């Protein structure tokens, strides 16, 4: 059992929790909780830390079998609280290898449904979009370099496991991405205040991508100008716009609705 707060492995986990640069450098992310551990691919799990009481709780279950397969380290309660990013930890934390996704392969998917996010800053918004995207059947989520870290612990929690299953890629050049999308026959739709037509007046049954901008400023002009279409969401009262995650969810599920009617 690890009981020392000065243990090098404990210090490393604490550093990973607080520093996105360190997580990126080492190609990992951290997940906490029984459900997140259960859904993590065995081959992606690099390290697992667990409380003795949690270990006893899952005794003689499938989770115990998984722990034996992937390996684990028991830690004291003080150590776990030091390593954890949550206020009420469930007593299990694991280090997971980041997946790698091929942009060119994703562009070859038949009738893809993409979400393109530019400079989103709220980790909860990003995590919710990834989770809702899995439910709506998105092919992948693309993000600008200035979008919040998808491996931020708050984002990871908001995905509730979808981080393992929804392809996601950070894009260096948004203009180049849109050119590739158009070349692949993917129609691009910018959620924009200048849109003249409501989102449900378009057909999303063929390959398409929804462009969503920063929570406060929206899409950059140069990005919006490259979109093939502008669309808007109906607004009543004095509301000017919706939360980015809610707006994205509406668009994704409209595409899902249309495609399910084929």
Identify the three-state secondary structure at position 144: strand
Q: What mean pLDDT do residues 96-125 have?
A: 97
Q: Do domains 8-97 and 103-260 have the same CATH topology?
A: no
Identify the three-state secondary structure at position 257: helix
Write down the H helix ranges in 137-243: 153-159, 174-183, 221-226
E runs forming strands in 150-248: 168-171, 187-191, 208-212, 229-231
Tell me the per-residue pLDDT of 122-152, one tens digit each, with 9 for 90 and over. Answer: 999 999 999 999 999 999 999 999 999 999 9
pLDDT at residue number 192 = 81
Do β-strands 92-97 and 45-51 pair in parallel, antiparallel, or remain unpaired?
Answer: antiparallel
CATH 3.40.50.300 fits 103-260, yes or no: no
CATH 3.40.50.300 fits 8-97, yes or no: no
Would you place residue 239 in the very low, low, confident or very high pLDDT band (cuts 50, 70, 90)? confident
At 72, list the tokens: 């684990």
Give the separation between CA 130 and CA 149, rounded to whole angstroms. Answer: 13
Tell me the per-residue pLDDT of 4-51, one tens digit each, with 9 for 90 and over. Answer: 999 999 999 999 999 999 999 999 999 999 999 999 999 999 999 999
Widest CA span in the chain? 63
pLDDT surpasses 90 at 186: yes
Tell me the per-residue pLDDT of 42-58, one tens digit each, with 9 for 90 and over. Answer: 999 999 999 999 999 99
Give the separation between CA 117 and CA 129, rounded to whole angstroms. Answer: 10
Contact 139, 168 (CB under 8 A): no
Q: What mean pLDDT do residues 95-102 have?
A: 97
> Domain extents for the chain?
8-97, 103-260
Identify the three-state secondary structure at position 40: coil
Give the separation between CA 159 and CA 217, rounded to whole angstroms. Answer: 24
């Amino acid at each position: 059992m690890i009981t020392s707060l000065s243990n090098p492995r404990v210090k490393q986990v604490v550093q990973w929790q607080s520093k996105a640069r360190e997580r990126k450098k080492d190609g990992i992310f951290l997940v906490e909780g029984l459900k997140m551990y259960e859904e993590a691919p065995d081959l992606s799990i690099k390290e697992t830390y667990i409380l003795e009481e949690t270990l006893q709780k899952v005794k003689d279950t499938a989770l115990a079998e998984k722990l034996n397969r992937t390996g684990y380290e028991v830690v004291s309660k003080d150590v776990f609280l030091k390593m954890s990013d949550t206020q009420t930890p469930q007593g299990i934390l694991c280090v997971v290898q980041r997946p790698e996704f091929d942009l060119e392969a994703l562009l070859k998917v038949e009738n893809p449904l993409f979400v393109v996010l530019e400079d989103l800053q709220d980790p909860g918004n990003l995590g919710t979009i990834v989770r809702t995207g899995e439910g709506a059947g998105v092919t992948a989520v693309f993000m600008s370099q200035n979008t919040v870290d998808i491996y931020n612990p708050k984002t990871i929690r908001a995905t509730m496991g979808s981080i393992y299953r929804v392809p996601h890629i950070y894009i260096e050049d948004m203009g180049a991405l849109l050119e590739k999308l158009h070349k692949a026959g993917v129609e691009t739709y910018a959620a924009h205040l200048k849109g003249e037509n409501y989102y449900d007046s378009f057909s999303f049954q063929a390959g398409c991508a929804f462009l969503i901008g920063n929570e406060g400023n929206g899409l950059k002009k140069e990005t919006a100008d490259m979109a093939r279409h502008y669309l808007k969401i109906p607004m009543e009262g004095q509301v000017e716009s919706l939360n980015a995650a809610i707006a994205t969810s509406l668009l994704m599920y409209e595409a899902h609705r249309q495609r399910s009617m084929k």
